[in-house]
Structure 1
Amino acid sequence: MLRSRAARLTVLSVAIVLVVALVATVVAAFVVVRRPLPQVSGTLEVAGLHDEVTVTRDARGVPTITAQDPHDLFLAQGYVAAQDRFFEMDYRRHVVAGRLSELVGQNEDALDADKVIRTFGWRRVAEAELAIIDPSTRDALEAYAAGVNAYLDGKAPSQIAVEYTVLGLQVHVEAPEPWDAVDSLAWLKAMAWDLRGNYDAELSRARVYASVRDVAKVDELFPAYPYDLNAPIVAAEDLTSATPASAAGELDLDDSGLQAAIDSANKALDAVPHLVGEGEGVGSNSWVVSGEHTASGAPILANDPHLGISAPGIWMQVGLRCAQVDEACPYDVSGFGFAGFPGVVIGHNADLAWGLTNLGADVTDFFVERVEGNATVRGDGTARIRARTEVIKVNGGDDVTIVVRQSVHGPIVSDVLDVDQVGDAPMPDGTSDRGYEVALAWTALAPGHTADAVLATATAKDASDIARVGRLLDVPSQNIVFATTDGHIGYQAPGRIPVRQTVRGAVPSDGTWPRPGWDPAYDWQGYVDPEEMPRALDPAEGFVVAANQAVTPQGVGPFLTDDWDYGYRAQRIRTVLSTAIARGDRIDVADLNTLQNDQRSPYADVLVPWLLRIDIDDAFADDGQQLLRTWDHVASADSAAAAYFAAVWKTLLELTFADDLPDGELPNGGSRWLEVVRGLLDEPDSPWWDDRTTPGLLEGRDEVLYQAMVTARLTLTQQLGRDADEWRWGRLHTAAPEHPVLGGSSVPGLVRSFVNPDPVEVGGGSSIVDATAWDASQGYGVTAAPSMRMVVDLGDLDSSTWVTLTGTSGHPASPHYADQLGAWAQGTTFPWPFSTAATQADAVDRLTLRP
């Protein structure tokens, strides 16, 4: 009995020890994850301030900063950004400087990214920019950096971010180095890279050509913009600047040499991390409605940029206010900014609201270079290849040294990552004894004034100020829509846009295909004059819609690109607005919030009538088609028909194109593919419908439509269950923001679950106004989405609304890390107070920063 009791006591003692150890572990973990959370109330001393600064935060942690002068305003913004999001800032600066391996250690993907970004030289360009920007912008950047460093001073990494503690388990983590102005400028290069225009389409044309060997067939997969169906941003009669469009010439470039060089370049460029987003769905919606059609009698502006999803989200909400707004301190602005950069990128001040969408201008070209030794062929002579050595430090590993080479056109990207060289590819002149490389020409690799543009927008008051912003905003090229409190609405196209010469040949020389670097006729001929960039003020129809569609009617204005989004989102927005105006409705903020969440599918409008013509005799297989018969074409999260239709669309693309296209070029299902299929539906015997892997069988349109529906029914039965009525689009289509460093599958599940918010079911889809894009070649998960939503009423700024994807904080333990995600997923927004009285009334926390 005593022995038995002793045994029980021993077991109990062990259990107590284990419980105590577990509690201690939990307590320690609690302390570790909460240690970096910032002080948001009371008083703090901050080195470098001239005077006291007040920081109020609302219920979602959004800061409003009030200061006596611009220096203190931007210093405090840097301090607050570092409080909430320094690890995100530090991660970004390591990426854009090609130093990611220093942060995360020995990782093949990180090293590949470093090699390519060192080849681009983003930080080198940023260093050159610092010398040419306006002195007031430089002052703002340096004040911001001083604020960041004031926060970092004296703090151990574990006090700054929990990510450093986790990384410290595998690599050596030192105190972060001081922030500087160049760190902020270099971030703009990453933004420009992800929003650079037709780069992907240019590569894709070349790669597809290698498979189909027919320029005309390639053109069928890149159809012309449907001007007769989807209107451009600005009508010809509303343009206040218009020049004839430049003609597209042609180029004779041998396919085999082109393909080998492009494949090499593609491997390298795929290694670049995407900090803003990539691929199908990266775009935006914005529109502005004149006050003659609104309930307030003043313009209303809406914007929701479609970017990659991440945790934390891309944007940081902030208000920046001078205590006394005057010439010496002109800032009174609120909106969405980037952690790591001063000012507000999208938002409004007391006089003007503005929104941005990606213009998509063609600002990159690939030049295939003939290489002889350390030179490239140029006409009858050669041009020296410049070279420099870059040393990449690897945390916990050996340094890696690379040689970066640059032709007259730009960095040579085809040999950055140990890829095979193109030594014997034949070219038009029949030679094959030279090497071939690919250089990238990109407007962002020349120093520019985008930083000036960001700060100039914050104090803009009218169309002339926005025109000045347009002259400064070199990259990325963005559509600017704007509205003023005195009743004007307008549009401005900015950007540094290359001018290309017309050259006759087998394929166009307009930038849609790679170019022969050895022929100077294909060199850029300068840039479009900023005064010739399209703009409009108070258009006759009473609204402007800019959603990545064509900017001007065909043949009007400077040549910007031929690779537009195909305009289905834009046209749906136009239809809803013009219908409301025709009815005499008075549009308000709630109406535009509703329109931002519109889930009408243009894919269904095009394809469902054809699907319903197909006879399906089997009752089980017919269940899916029956859903389509009563569907309203709205891709809501709870829609069974939307789930089935998505599976049909995915299967249809695979059945139609997988046998013809090379790996990596399968259809992503975006607006281009909708336009391709729309054209093919009228060609029932097109060769594209036939499956080349079934010799002896010749499939046509109706057979493919039938197989797509039957296969989709079987696929969803396995994924969602036998009862088709119980399917839901949201079960397939989830938004899952992921931490950029600790959120991946190689990280332990406990850590992933801590840093990654729970996935949320959403409706919408690609080329739908509620643009939760998905890649049909991969799966149904959201790849890009509205990164924020805002609606601004210029008649009552305090009645405006906003929401961001996750939350304001970058600390996973913060209540504001993902406290807006649920509202975002449901399509709801929060009040956006602006006036001093309203922001004070909305304040939950108040922090005073003292010198």
Structure 2
Amino acid sequence: MSAAPPPTETEAEPGADATGGPDAQPGRRRAWRAVATTVAIVVVLALVAVTVFSVVVLRRPLPDTGGDLTLGGLQSDVTVQRDAQGVPTITASSDHDLFMAQGYVQAQDRFFEMDYRRHVTSGRLAELVGDQPEAIAADKVTRTFGWRDVAEQEWELVSPETRAYLQAYAQGVNAYLEGRDTGAIAVEYTVLGLQVDVEEPEPWDPIDSLAWLKAMAWDLRGNYDDELDRALSYGTLRDVELVDELFPPYDAEAHTPILDPEEVAATVSGAEEASAPVEDDALALADDEVTAALRSASDALAAVPVLVGRGEDSGSNSWVVSGEHTESGQPLLANDPHLALGAPSIWAQVGLQCSTIGPDCTFDVSGFSFAGFPGVFIGHNDQLAWGLTNMGADVTDFFVERVEDGSYLKDDEWIPLESRPETIHVNGGSDESFIVHTTEHGPVVSGVLSELNAAMHVPSDDVPVGGTVVSLGWTALTPGRTADAVFALGRAADAADVQAAAELFEVPAQNIVFATIDGHIGYQAPGRIPIRKTVSGALPSDGSWPRPGWDSRYDWTGYVDPADMPRVLDPAEGFIVAANQAVQPRSASPFLTTDWDFGYRSERIRTLLEGKIADGGKVGVADMQEIQLDDWSPFAEALVPALLSIDVGEGFDADGQALLEDWDYGTGVDSAPAAYFAAVWSNILELTFWDDVPPSMRPAGSSQSLAVVEQLLERPADQLWDDRSTVGLVETRDEILKDALVSARAEMTTQVSKRPTDWAWGKVHQLRLEHPVLGGPSIPGVVRSIVNPDPVGMPGGSSIVNAVGWDAAAGTFDVTAGPSMRMVVDLGNLDASTWVTVTGVSGHPASPHYDDQLDAWATGETYAWPFSSSAVDGAAQDEATLRP
């Protein structure tokens, strides 16, 4: 049968053939031409708009990085040399000029990030971004803490020279801002100006820098989450023994602590016993009103934006190897802090070098700084290298307070609550006023969010009469001298200098590993650590549970003497690994914490190091880098044998399980078994624990989760395996494991492909970097596509040495935290050291250095780290001279 000829203009009306293409009839052709023309015009206009936005708006804030620049207030000329990654090395003839130039350069590169951080830390985020509930909630919590107030008090405590450095830095920032409108400072102001009123940024104040230390301390605060979670899970389980199963003790035999107690110079001691029985602490935590108050506190405090990192994945790796085991005969030091990942990155690489070291110019240091604070936090100078990891010391306690008529109970006395009014100015919205209440333990944090107060049956600005609230004791709310410690570390030359700096490094409590140019390696624990009495009762009094605020026996009695903090120099083993595991066994340092990372990463690093140095082997820079990238999974080692013992039948369901049979437990981006296993693991956690804990406690898949599941595997009929939601059924281990395997096969089929050969970990485990203000879904897609780098498939995972973490409770395998930078320092040749950060040194999306390090970081590559004058000169791509 032949095809009918197409209709002519006289045979059909335009549009009569609904199934024809655009050339089916002339009338339709005209319509399609009109549509095509309109679309073309729209596309052209859009392209023009994007081009104008890209060329004019985006590029306008890019700074001058070459030639001569005038900077009033300098004492002498300053040279700023930038390498191929745009990393600045600043050379000056005085400390004042070094830090003034650093302020100027960091304002050039990242002022909006600095401005955003100071709005967060002062509780003024809504002034910057407008009438957004999340911003207002964050401001309420930050104002309740009073971070800015504490920073103002610290200004009076820090040394005169630290104040001078902070003032010089602020002077440099303000010199850059002078005469520039917002559009010339950062594109973020231009975009925000489409939604809210954007005023000229306020001058930078030295207090803005000090307040940043409070945010750093908050995100790295220790066992805060575990303490709340114990109480909240007790409200569900009503059984201390079951709660203890969810929080097993650290296994010091399986996972070696940082220090051998016999080798350390000092240990914490002197617990004060108070053996009187406590009758009502357990009953208090079982009370529904107390549970509501604790949940309110948990939800409210989670509103603070993550600026550094939070959760179990906010750990870090560091280790140092003595020269007897290295190729150069001098120590090697590695560090990679696992923190929040965003665009721009947390760290700003910088070199600060005096042209001549002397009384007026005392620094020759290079490393990683925070935009907004002068100096270097992690790095090396010409005598010493140091790395930091979160020690996780218990520096916070929640106190359940009994309140009535504006007072709180303490022993037999009712004490008036301290109160102060706060007002949040909302850009484009109505101001919000509220009252902050404080006890002698700290600010009342339950009920900070107005929408949560209903759960406590109290108005938003009131304390309940005859009710319960929760206050927070936190060492960072006591003014301290951490700012002094930053500069002391930058000039440290030996173990004594590190110990002296550690006495000042009060919050956050960090493990310090270090190595010196003359061959020593060491470890030092700093931090302001509370001393708690031992009180006998139904619940521990060691800080692992919330405390009854009405009983003075639970109050802190002081702080551990800095001289008693653990430390070691040149251990016999020849290396030190500090990766958030226990510092020492509990008996040797009872006041540090009970809640460590469980040590899977640290033990793997130890195993790899021992393999490198066995039989006289020597470690080089490349070996240290290789260890940093290790993606072997301890989860797989623990679970795969049990998973392979489960009968899931044949065919479709067995396809995934078969991948596990020959798996080497590596989690590279191309690994199909790693992708399948991750789905199995998240299913195990959901099926086992979601029915036993409140939603806020659903396990993210941390080292704690692995420690719990390892124990449960030995108890097939443990009641935690049972799903409480299936009435009349009692599930056991093997049923849960089978369901997890089968569901994971279906999940990978839906997300990736029906064929297991198409699966790959990097296809689902992706890093999606997001700008803190312009990167979210409420921002137009064209802007998001500019400020958010493209997604990157990643290896690794939680509690893996290459700790690119993900949240097993989130319903996605997307990266939540990871190595925010990697560095390896060679004390035998500092110019042979290497470094990389997750994005780049610039905060300007139009800059080539906004994310030029991302690909190298993701694939495990690093860059040369020039330090000597000749190396810096040789690496320089741009050079600017700042003149008075």
Under a length normalisation based on structure 2, what TM-score does the superposition of the two structures give?
0.93
Q: Identify which of 840, 848, 867 aligns with 1:815.
A: 848
| Residues 93-136 of structure 1: CA deviation (Å, up to 9, x unaligned) | 00000000100111111011111100100000000001110110
Is 1:846 the counterpart of 2:870 in the alignment?
no
How many angstroms apart in 1 are the aligned matches of 2:273 and 2:196? Answer: 53
| Residues 139-160 of structure 1: CA deviation (Å, up to 9, x unaligned) | 0000000000000001000000
Which secondary structure state, in structure 1, belongs to the residue aligned with residue 696 of structure 2?
coil
Following TM superposition, by how much is the alpha carbon of 1:247 offset from its aligned partner in structure 2, in angstroms?
A: 8.1
How many angstroms apart in 2 are the aligned matches of 1:19 and 1:572? Answer: 54
Query: Any residues of structure 2 matched to 1:250-649 within 5 Å, and which?
Result: 251-254=281-284, 255-256=286-287, 257-418=289-450, 419-420=452-453, 434-649=466-681
Following TM superposition, by how much is the alpha carbon of 1:325 offset from its aligned partner in structure 2, in angstroms?
A: 1.2
Equivalence for 2:110 = 85
Following TM superposition, by how much is the alpha carbon of 1:616 offset from its aligned partner in structure 2, in angstroms?
A: 2.5
How many angstroms apart in 2 are the aligned matches of 1:313 and 1:26? Answer: 25
Equivalence for 2:6 = none
Which secondary structure state, in structure 1, belongs to the residue aligned with residue 453 of structure 2?
coil
Q: Identify which of 702, 705, 711 aligns with 1:679.
A: 711
Query: Residue type matched to 1:105 in 2?
Result: G
Is 1:124 the counterpart of 2:157 in the alignment?
no
How many angstroms apart in 1 are the aligned matches of 2:34 and 2:656? Answer: 63
Is 1:770 the counterpart of 2:794 in the alignment?
no
Query: Residue type matched to 1:820 in 2?
Result: Q
The answer to whether the 8 Å contact 1:104/1:167 transfers is yes
Equivalence for 2:860 = 827
Equivalence for 1:139 = 164
How many angstroms apart in 1 are the aligned matches of 2:553 and 2:454? Answer: 26
How many angstroms apart in 1 are the aligned matches of 2:37 and 2:636? Answer: 66
How many angstroms apart in 1 are the aligned matches of 2:882 and 2:190? Answer: 28
Equivalence for 1:429 = none
Query: How many aligned positions are there?
Result: 841
Equivalence for 2:8 = none
Greater mean alpha carbon deviation, residues 699-708 or residues 286-295: 699-708
How many angstroms apart in 1 are the aligned matches of 2:615 and 2:234? Answer: 49
Query: Residue type matched to 1:41 in 2?
Result: G
The answer to whether the 8 Å contact 1:58/1:842 transfers is yes
Query: Any residues of structure 2 matched to 1:179-194 within 5 Å, and which?
Result: 179-194=204-219
The 1:208–1:23 alpha-carbon spacing in structure 2 relative to 1, beyond 3 Å, is: closer
The 1:717–1:47 alpha-carbon spacing in structure 2 relative to 1, beyond 3 Å, is: same
Equivalence for 1:25 = 49
Equivalence for 1:215 = 240
Is 1:159 the counterpart of 2:184 in the alignment?
yes
Following TM superposition, by how much is the alpha carbon of 1:13 offset from its aligned partner in structure 2, in angstroms?
A: 11
The answer to whether the 8 Å contact 2:78/2:92 transfers is yes
Greater mean alpha carbon deviation, residues 505-514 or residues 339-348: 505-514
Which secondary structure state, in structure 2, belongs to the residue aligned with residue 651 of structure 1?
helix
Equivalence for 2:683 = 651
The answer to whether the 8 Å contact 1:424/1:433 transfers is no
Equivalence for 1:781 = 814
Which secondary structure state, in structure 1, belongs to the residue aligned with residue 836 of structure 2?
strand
Following TM superposition, by how much is the alpha carbon of 1:25 offset from its aligned partner in structure 2, in angstroms?
A: 2.6
Q: Identify which of 173, 176, 186 aligns with 2:198.
A: 173
Which secondary structure state, in structure 1, belongs to the residue aligned with residue 855 of structure 2?
helix
Query: Residue type matched to 2:638 in 1?
Result: V
Query: Any residues of structure 2 matched to 1:30-49 within 5 Å, and which?
Result: 30-49=55-74
Query: Residue type matched to 1:786 in 2?
Result: P
Equivalence for 2:18 = none
How many angstroms apart in 2 are the aligned matches of 1:534 and 1:135? Answer: 29
Equivalence for 1:806 = 839
Query: Residue type matched to 1:657 in 2?
Result: F
Query: Residue type matched to 1:50 in 2?
Result: Q
Query: Residue type matched to 2:123 in 1?
Result: G
How many angstroms apart in 1 are the aligned matches of 2:788 and 2:61? Answer: 18
The answer to whether the 8 Å contact 1:248/1:508 transfers is no
Which secondary structure state, in structure 1, belongs to the residue aligned with residue 80 of structure 2?
strand
Greater mean alpha carbon deviation, residues 237-246 or residues 596-605: 237-246
How many angstroms apart in 2 are the aligned matches of 1:512 and 1:847? Answer: 53
Query: Residue type matched to 2:150 in 1?
Result: V
Is 1:101 the counterpart of 2:126 in the alignment?
yes
Following TM superposition, by how much is the alpha carbon of 1:9 offset from its aligned partner in structure 2, in angstroms?
A: 13
How many angstroms apart in 2 are the aligned matches of 1:423 and 1:16? Answer: 58
How many angstroms apart in 2 are the aligned matches of 1:341 and 1:335? Answer: 13
Query: Residue type matched to 1:200 in 2?
Result: D
The answer to whether the 8 Å contact 2:293/2:456 transfers is no
How many angstroms apart in 2 are the aligned matches of 1:289 and 1:629? Answer: 36
Equivalence for 1:728 = 760
How many angstroms apart in 1 are the aligned matches of 2:112 and 2:303? Answer: 22
Following TM superposition, by how much is the alpha carbon of 1:583 offset from its aligned partner in structure 2, in angstroms?
A: 3.0
| Residues 318-377 of structure 1: CA deviation (Å, up to 9, x unaligned) | 000011012331100000000000000000000000000000000000111111212111
Query: Any residues of structure 2 matched to 1:661-676 within 5 Å, and which?
Result: 661-676=693-708
Following TM superposition, by how much is the alpha carbon of 1:12 offset from its aligned partner in structure 2, in angstroms?
A: 12
The 1:423–1:24 alpha-carbon spacing in structure 2 relative to 1, beyond 3 Å, is: closer
Following TM superposition, by how much is the alpha carbon of 1:726 offset from its aligned partner in structure 2, in angstroms?
A: 1.9
| Residues 356-409 of structure 1: CA deviation (Å, up to 9, x unaligned) | 000000000011111121211111112221111112111112221111111111
Following TM superposition, by how much is the alpha carbon of 1:49 offset from its aligned partner in structure 2, in angstroms?
A: 0.6
Query: Residue type matched to 1:846 in 2?
Result: E
How many angstroms apart in 2 are the aligned matches of 1:16 and 1:367? Answer: 65
How many angstroms apart in 2 are the aligned matches of 1:290 and 1:19? Answer: 62
Q: Calculate percent identity across the aligned residue pairs.
A: 59
Q: Identify which of 148, 151, 166 aligns with 2:173.
A: 148
**Which structure has the bigger radius of gyration?**
2
Which secondary structure state, in structure 2, belongs to the residue aligned with residue 507 of structure 1?
coil
The answer to whether the 8 Å contact 2:312/2:597 transfers is no
The 1:672–1:18 alpha-carbon spacing in structure 2 relative to 1, beyond 3 Å, is: closer
Following TM superposition, by how much is the alpha carbon of 1:216 offset from its aligned partner in structure 2, in angstroms?
A: 0.7
| Residues 674-695 of structure 1: CA deviation (Å, up to 9, x unaligned) | 0000000100111111122222
RMSD: 2.1
The answer to whether the 8 Å contact 1:485/1:795 transfers is yes
The answer to whether the 8 Å contact 1:191/1:275 transfers is yes
Which secondary structure state, in structure 2, belongs to the residue aligned with residue 330 of structure 1?
coil
Greater mean alpha carbon deviation, residues 590-599 or residues 391-400: 391-400
How many angstroms apart in 2 are the aligned matches of 1:11 and 1:723? Answer: 42
Query: Residue type matched to 2:230 in 1?
Result: R
The 1:253–1:136 alpha-carbon spacing in structure 2 relative to 1, beyond 3 Å, is: farther
How many angstroms apart in 1 are the aligned matches of 2:698 and 2:344? Answer: 30
How many angstroms apart in 2 are the aligned matches of 1:248 and 1:679? Answer: 32
The 1:729–1:23 alpha-carbon spacing in structure 2 relative to 1, beyond 3 Å, is: closer
- Gap regions ≥5 residues in structure 2: 1-26, 459-463
